[in-house]
């Protein structure tokens, strides 16, 4: 009886004051708490899957729950929920399926309310039910209001309202009690409602920031600049972020003034407040662990931010390379499948000489292979970092041993072969590596777009175009023309390429805009680089899976173009001479007769000789010929 009583008290305390249950009196809370049941989940156990029916409303009692969505390269972690957070609250409003997957990161205990139990509450306690629905409506209204202000993720709180007071250079402000960021992040959120895209949209940047802060804390500990308990708490907080937890508290816009200071302070504040909790303290008790004095110790935005940017890019490039390899493999598969399909090659959109469709797709695979090597080469330049340079590269406020020690710790934390720059003043102001990397992205996109242009041409028709290949039909192509199917996948990849090329120009201008000892435009550089990586990766996976692997060849159409083409006369040059070949080409074009027919008519070659010369083996590869062949 005592255990059950304690559980009921725990449930009531968890529900009390939240937006869903804030208007319920004690008796109503007691009844609602009794309707919930408790359930435990082991680490890595799935609470619900994306696209599965919503049948439970849950509140996390203990542990952490990861919310993720499937993407081409695996999964994208959207949030990590903890005590007091809601799951499945849309069950109050509709019966749609889950839009994401919930997985226990640790041992998890939840209290849950089934759909059936909700219906019982609706019948027996309509006032209570509609107060709960009103609470859900408030929650959704709050999200919509925040979205309208482009403060993405700020509406997604699951906690009771309330504020803690914090102060900075400009004065005192109330910060929502449930968030882990502080007053400087709050000001940045208000100052930069620009894109609606928070920095948490790029989780590898958040992980990289946490890695930098962890390495700095470990270095400062070894130098005797941080006490053991504070360093341990900071490291533990960073480990949470590296694992994907608490990313939703990184809320500043990706485009911001201040050379990345808002991003750096967002990290410092979140880590400080998480670390405070590790010590049993409350967020905002900065006399114990301070965002600047402890988390940012021996650092400046001007060394921590560009270093984190480079590490985040290295983490993200891994997934881009996966996408490139996947697309390359798809082209190789088609190269093998189409190795015997004869077709006409074309230059300047005019008939050239015969080839196989397999050779065409093999060329695409080789292009991607070259770009994979180029990307790896460019990525190696990201290994040079400027930790310890602090404000402008002179190392002010850092211990003489800090730069080398922090770099060593960062290598251990990341598993990367990072290297401290030989000139920290140069490294602090130079953004050339980002221009170089973006140039490779542009190169990849230009070639990818060219490939998609080819696919659209080769599949054009089906009755009045080339019609050499068939792209998989993905969706109806017209609101007015029945039966029309468009090459929508190559088209979207073309548009991705245009965006990446535009991003490259923005990065170029931002890099050029540096002045004296610092480039303040790194946030727009970061945004465009991360966006380019994401859309290229997704585009390549989509192109491979929804287009390339499903392509079929119209073999008869391809061969018919070869047999009726004037271009095959090129293969006769070594045997009948250029003048004869030109004369035959001219007559064939004028009369519509075939090259084959005209050569026989003029007795320039026998039928056996023509068949041998125009065989695929003779036309598709280099071959030695002798005077006898003439």
- Measured at the CA of 310, the angle between CA 307 and CA 314, to 5 degrees, comes to 140
User: Which pLDDT belongs to residue 456?
Assistant: 96
Adjacent-strand bridge partners of 79: 67
User: Which pLDDT belongs to residue 78?
Assistant: 76
User: Which pLDDT belongs to residue 147?
Assistant: 46
What pTM was estimated for this model as a whole?
0.76
Q: How far apart are CA 34 and CA 437, in angstroms?
A: 58
Q: Tell me if 61 sits within 8 A of 36, measured CB to CB.
A: no
Q: How far apart are CA 156 and CA 90, in angstroms?
A: 13
Q: Tell me if 197 sits within 8 A of 254, measured CB to CB.
A: yes
Average pLDDT, 10 consecutive residues per value, the chain (630 residues): 68 72 79 86 91 86 86 68 82 78 92 86 81 73 51 40 83 88 94 91 95 98 97 96 91 94 96 95 95 96 97 96 96 96 92 92 97 97 96 94 97 97 94 96 97 96 92 84 87 97 97 94 97 96 96 94 82 87 89 87 89 74 62
Tell me, what DSSP letter sits at residue 585?
H
Q: How far apart are CA 92 and CA 607, in angstroms?
A: 81
State whether CATH 1.10.8.60 applies to domain 304-556.
Answer: no
User: Which pLDDT belongs to residue 252?
Assistant: 95
Q: How far apart are CA 123 and CA 140, in angstroms?
A: 24
Q: Tell me if 539 sits within 8 A of 445, measured CB to CB.
A: no
User: Which pLDDT belongs to residue 145?
Assistant: 53
- Ranges of H-type helices in 338-381: 357-379
Q: Which two tokens stand for residue 417?
A: 């072969």
Tell me, what DSSP letter sits at residue 476?
B
DSSP string covering 540-576, please? Answer: HHHHHHHTGGG-EE-HHHHHHHHHT-GGGGGGGHHHH
- Determine whether 449 is an active site residue: no
Q: Look-up: residue for tokens 């989780």?
A: 203
Domain boundaries 163-297, CATH class: mainly alpha
User: Which pLDDT belongs to residue 311?
Assistant: 98
User: Which pLDDT belongs to residue 125?
Assistant: 80
Q: How far apart are CA 514 and CA 520, in angstroms?
A: 7
Q: Which two tokens stand for residue 602?
A: 């003029």
User: Which pLDDT belongs to residue 151?
Assistant: 39
2-148 has which fold? Answer: Jelly Rolls (2.60.120)
DSSP string covering 155-195, please? Answer: T---S---EEEEEETTEEEEEETT-S--HHHHHHHHH--SS
Q: Which of 262, 318, 349 is nearest to 534 (CA)?
A: 318
Q: Which two tokens stand for residue 80?
A: 């990590």
User: Which pLDDT belongs to residue 158?
Assistant: 38
Q: What's the maximum distance between 2 C-alpha atoms anywhere in the chain?
A: 109
Q: Which two tokens stand for residue 424?
A: 């920290």
Residue 273 CA, chain-centre distance (Å), reads 28
- Measured at the CA of 457, the angle between CA 454 and CA 480, to 5 degrees, comes to 130
User: Which pLDDT belongs to residue 563?
Assistant: 80
Span 564-629: which CATH code?
Answer: 1.10.40.30
- C-alpha to C-alpha distances, 531 to 317, 379, 393, 497, nearest whole angstrom: 12, 16, 29, 12
**Neighbour order of strands in the sheet with 101-104:** 46-48, 101-104, 65-71, 74-81
Q: What residue segments make up the domains of the chain, in order of their start?
A: 2-148, 163-297, 304-556, 564-629
User: Which pLDDT belongs to residue 140?
Assistant: 65
Angle between the N-to-C axes of helices 357-379 and 432-458, in degrees from 0 to 180, rounded to the nearest 10: 170
Catalytic residue (choose from 38, 141, 148, 478):
478
Query: How many other C-beta atoms can be found within 10 angstroms of the C-beta atom of residue 94?
Result: 8
The helix/strand/coil state of 468 is coil
């Amino acid at each position: 009886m005592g255990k059950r009583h304690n559980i009921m008290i725990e449930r009531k305390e968890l529900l009390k004051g939240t937006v869903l249950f804030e208007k319920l009196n004690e008796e109503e809370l007691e009844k609602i708490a009794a309707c919930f049941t408790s359930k435990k989940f082991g680490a890595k156990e799935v609470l619900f899957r994306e696209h599965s029916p919503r049948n439970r409303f849950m509140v996390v009692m203990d542990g952490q729950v990861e919310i993720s969505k499937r993407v081409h390269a695996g999964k994208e972690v959207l949030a990590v929920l903890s005590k007091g957070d809601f799951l499945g609250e849309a069950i109050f409003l509709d019966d749609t399926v889950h839009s994401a997957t919930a997985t226990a990161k640790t041992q998890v205990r939840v209290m849950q309310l089934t759909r059936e139990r909700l219906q019982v509450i609706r019948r027996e306690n309509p006032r209570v039910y509609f107060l709960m629905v009103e609470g859900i409506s408030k929650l959704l209204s709050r999200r919509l209001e925040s979205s309208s202000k482009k403060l993405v993720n700020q509406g997604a709180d699951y906690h009771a309202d309330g504020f803690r007071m914090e102060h900075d250079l400009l004065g005192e402000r109330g910060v929502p009690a449930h968030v882990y960021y502080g007053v400087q992040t709050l000001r940045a959120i208000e100052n930069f409602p620009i894109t609606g895209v928070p920095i948490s949209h790029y989780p590898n940047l958040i992980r990289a920031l946490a890695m930098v802060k962890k390495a700095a804390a470990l270095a400062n500990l070894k130098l005797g600049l941080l006490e053991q308990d504070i360093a341990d708490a900071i490291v533990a907080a960073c480990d949470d972020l590296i694992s994907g937890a608490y990313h939703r508290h990184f809320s500043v816009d990706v485009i911001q003034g201040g050379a990345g200071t808002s991003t750096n302070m967002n990290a410092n504040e979140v880590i400080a407040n998480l670390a405070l909790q590790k010590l049993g303290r409350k967020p905002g008790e900065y006399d114990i662990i301070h965002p600047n004095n402890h988390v940012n110790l021996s650092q400046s935005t001007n060394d921590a931010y560009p270093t984190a940017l480079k590490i985040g890019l290295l983490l993200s490039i891994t997934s881009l390379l996966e996408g490139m390899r996947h697309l390359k493999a798809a082209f190789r598969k088609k190269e093998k499948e189409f190795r015997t399909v004869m077709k006409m090659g074309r230059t300047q959109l005019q008939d050239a000489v015969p080839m196989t469709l397999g050779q065409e797709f093999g060329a695409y695979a080789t292009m991607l292979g070259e770009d994979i090597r180029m990307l790896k080469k460019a990525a190696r330049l990201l290994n040079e970092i400027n930790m310890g340079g602090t404000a402008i590269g002179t190392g002010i406020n850092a211990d003489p041993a800090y730069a080398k020690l922090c770099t060593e710790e960062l290598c251990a934390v990341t598993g990367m072969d990072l290297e401290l720059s030989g000139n920290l003043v140069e490294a602090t102001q130079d953004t050339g590596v980002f221009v170089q990397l973006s140039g490779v992205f542009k190169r990849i996109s230009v070639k990818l777009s060219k490939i998609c242009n080819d696919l659209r041409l080769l599949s054009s028709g089906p009755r009045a175009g080339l019609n050499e290949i068939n792209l998989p039909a993905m969706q109806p192509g017209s609101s007015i023309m029945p039966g029309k199917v468009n090459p929508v996948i190559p088209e979207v990849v073309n548009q991705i390429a245009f965006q990446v090329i535009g991003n490259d120009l923005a990065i170029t201008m931002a890099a050029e805009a540096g002045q004296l000892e610092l480039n303040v435009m790194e946030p727009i550089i970061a945004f465009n680089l991360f966006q380019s990586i994401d859309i290229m990766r997704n585009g390549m996976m989509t192109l491979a899976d929804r287009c390339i692997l499903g392509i079929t060849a119209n073999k008869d159409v391809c061969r018919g173009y070869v047999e009726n083409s004037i271009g095959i006369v090129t293969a006769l040059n070594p045997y009948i001479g250029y003048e004869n070949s030109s004369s035959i080409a001219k007559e064939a074009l004028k009369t519509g007769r075939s090259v084959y027919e005209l050569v026989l008519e003029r007795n320039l070659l026998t039928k056996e000789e023509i068949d041998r010369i125009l065989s695929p083996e003779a036309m598709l590869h280099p071959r030695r010929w002798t005077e006898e062949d003439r």
